[in-house]
């Protein structure tokens, strides 16, 4: 049993050390301007699940527009073309390994592509016409969606797989045009726009069983869908209302099309949505007619990212458009104005809301290994415990509590025969360090007081070692694996002490 406990301790310490060694990219909220390929402009369309890979388009030093794949710690990579001089990336798989978009071929024709590091840029062909464009990819990179021209020069939404090639998804009844922009995590649900019999453009949601469904509008005559949740149940885009103003929307089968509002202006457009459908990003105009990136949630409504994350922006910089969001809602990418470089530039915004509390815990009057002592931690808010877990320190007493949500907490520490200590009023809006505590020894009966009851238990265990029938590990206050007069000394020194409630 002792060996198993030691293994658990070692595992906990390894996890603890890994958490401390994570790079600064994930340590706090941050805004990273991604630069260019040597030119004056870049914008980001997609981000991997962990925020480590971003894709989009950028000018190179020759003013050619090129698809890029940016990797944290590495920088921006030009993905090339299909023989021409232009390309742009729009979608990326969850692991960042597969990138999709469009590129010119040697004849100057646009072709949808699927890129991997091992295979390079693969031409996905067309539906019989001259052009094709890829905009979305499934989480595993196996399904690609976009639109291509058929032999009659008509645009058709497509769904591509390696085994099935490019599948024409058809049109709405009586229509002649469709384009796909988003796909669910498993590749089963496709969203985009299609013209109806009256030549009005409508947002659609496609499945193999149900075909192409018109999602309607907000009272106007047109709409289009850009993004879809992981399970395909939530669709986002923009639609015109009865007044002829475009509004970002969030659609569900039960609630229909919900107007997400604006930032005070007359237009908004949604591009991306988190995996669970709860967080939507895009752009909207404010009351001054300025275009600004937004994030929408049911509880917070539409917020201007430039206000929420103003502390991350240098004077004169702003986030113009949010094109995509990571599945967990943490990372947002798009285009903004970087005052430091004087150019429009792709950005990666880390909106991290879970942080780390760390510090040092001293187990007083103890000569044993503190790394083997389990410590119960409680996070409390407004008098209620919101989180309880067991942690271990390292050999010097250093500890870390990961994934703490933004808020103000009282942090309670309690180890087996030590009194509880509560550190109050810890406000978390970033990583918090220096939350230290010193725990008083002597609470053998674990009632958070050092009393005669503890004396009684120590007397019962006096003179014992772990192999003895009267052994009580809590009575071994100093941790030398023997209950002796030294333990009596600890108890006498701390007699009458009480822990925090």
DSSP 112: E
pTM of the model: 0.74
**CA–CA dist 303, 293 (Å, integer):** 9
Give me the helices (H) in 200-319, please: 305-308
**CA–CA dist 498, 274 (Å, integer):** 48
What is the pLDDT, as a whole number, of residue 205? Answer: 98
What is the pLDDT, as a whole number, of residue 354? Answer: 83
Q: What is the dihedral of CA 236, 87, 292, 194, to 10 degrees?
A: -30
**Numbers of helices and strands, H then E, in the chain:** 4, 35
What HEC string does 31-91 produce?
A: EEECCCEEEEEEEEEEECCCCCEEEEEEEECCCCEEEEEEECCCEEEECCCEEEEEEEEEE
Q: Is 224 helix (H, G, I), strand (E, B) or coil?
A: strand
DSSP 340: T
What HEC string does 226-256 produce?
A: EEECCCCCCEEEEEEECCCCEEEEEEECCCE
Neighbours of 197 (CB within 10 A): 11
pLDDT per residue of the chain (501 residues) written in tens, 0 to 9: 333 334 333 334 333 343 333 333 344 689 999 999 999 999 999 999 999 999 999 999 999 999 999 999 999 999 999 999 999 999 999 999 999 999 999 999 999 999 999 999 999 999 999 999 999 999 999 999 999 999 999 999 999 999 999 999 999 999 999 999 999 999 999 999 999 999 999 999 999 999 999 999 999 999 999 999 999 999 999 999 999 999 999 999 999 999 999 999 999 999 999 999 999 999 999 999 999 999 999 989 999 999 999 999 999 999 999 999 999 999 999 999 999 999 999 999 999 888 899 999 999 999 999 999 999 999 999 999 999 999 999 999 999 999 998 789 999 999 999 999 999 999 887 789 999 999 999 999 999 999 999 999 999 999 999 999 999 999 999 999 999 999 999 999 999 999 999
Q: How far is CA 478 from CA 431, 483, 486, in A?
A: 33, 9, 7
What is the pLDDT, as a whole number, of residue 89? Answer: 98
Q: How many CA atoms lie within 13 A of 416 on its CB side?
A: 15
Tell me the Cα Rg of the chain.
29
**CA–CA dist 69, 79 (Å, integer):** 7
Q: Starting at the edge strand that comes first in sequence, how are the strands of the sheet with 165-168 ordered?
A: 128-137, 144-150, 155-161, 165-168
What is the pLDDT, as a whole number, of residue 28? Answer: 66
Q: Are 29 and 295 in contact (CB under 8 A)?
A: no
Nearest to 53 by CA among 82, 36, 35, 77: 77
Q: Is 368 helix (H, G, I), strand (E, B) or coil?
A: coil
Q: Are 409 and 428 in contact (CB under 8 A)?
A: yes
Nearest to 354 by CA among 400, 389, 405, 402: 405
């Amino acid at each position: 049993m002792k060996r198993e406990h030691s293994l658990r301790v070692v595992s906990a310490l390894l996890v603890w050390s890994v958490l401390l060694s994570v790079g600064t990219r994930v340590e706090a909220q941050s805004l990273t301007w991604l630069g260019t390929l040597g030119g004056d402009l870049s914008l980001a369309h997609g981000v991997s699940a962990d925020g480590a890979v971003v894709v989009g388009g950028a000018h190179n030093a020759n003013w050619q527009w090129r698809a890029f794949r940016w990797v944290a710690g590495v920088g921006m990579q030009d993905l090339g073309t299909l023989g021409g001089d232009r390309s742009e990336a729009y979608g990326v798989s969850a692991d960042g390994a597969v990138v999709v978009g469009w590129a010119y071929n040697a004849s100057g024709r646009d072709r949808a592509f699927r890129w991997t590091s091992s295979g390079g840029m693969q031409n996905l062909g067309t539906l019989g016409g001259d052009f094709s464009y890829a905009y979305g990819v499934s989480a595993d990179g196996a399904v690609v969606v976009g639109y291509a021209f058929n032999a009659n020069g008509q645009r058709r939404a497509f769904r591509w797989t390696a085994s099935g090639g490019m599948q024409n998804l058809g049109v709405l009844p009586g229509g002649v045009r469709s384009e796909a922009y988003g796909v669910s995590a498993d590749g089963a649900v496709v969203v985009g726009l299609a013209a109806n019999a009256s030549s009005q453009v409508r947002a659609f949601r496609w499945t193999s069983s149900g075909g192409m469904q018109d999602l309607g509008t907000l009272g106007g005559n047109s709409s289009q869908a850009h993004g879809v949740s992981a399970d395909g149940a939530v669709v986002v885009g923009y639609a015109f209302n009865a007044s002829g103003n475009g509004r970002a929307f969030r659609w569900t089968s039960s609630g229909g099309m919900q107007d997400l509002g604006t930032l005070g202006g007359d237009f908004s457009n949604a591009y991306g949505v988190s995996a669970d459908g709860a967080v939507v990003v895009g752009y909207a105009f404010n009351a001054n007619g300025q275009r600004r990136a937004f994030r929408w949630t049911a509880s917070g409504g539409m917020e201007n990212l430039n206000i929420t994350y103003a502390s991350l922006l240098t004077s004169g910089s702003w986030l113009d458009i949010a094109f995509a969001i990571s599945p967990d809602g943490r990372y947002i990418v798009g285009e903004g104005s970087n005052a430091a470089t004087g150019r429009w530039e792709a950005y990666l915004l880390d909106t991290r809301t879970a942080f780390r509390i760390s510090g040092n815990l001293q187990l007083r009057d103890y000569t044993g290994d503190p790394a083997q002592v389990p410590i119960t931690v409680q996070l409390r808010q407004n008098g209620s415990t919101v989180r309880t877990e067991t942690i271990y320190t390292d050999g010097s007493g250093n500890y870390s509590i990961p994934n703490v949500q933004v808020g103000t907490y009282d942090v309670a520490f309690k180890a087996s025969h030590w009194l509880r200590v509560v550190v109050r009023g810890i406000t978390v809006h970033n990583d918090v360090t220096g939350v230290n505590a010193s725990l008083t020894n002597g609470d053998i009966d674990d009632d958070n007081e050092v009393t005669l009851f503890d004396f009684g238990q120590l007397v019962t265990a006096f003179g014992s070692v772990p192999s003895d029938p009267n052994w009580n590990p809590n009575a071994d206050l100093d941790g030398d694996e023997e209950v002796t007069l030294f333990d009596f000394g600890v108890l006498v020194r701390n007699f009458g002490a009480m822990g925090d409630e």
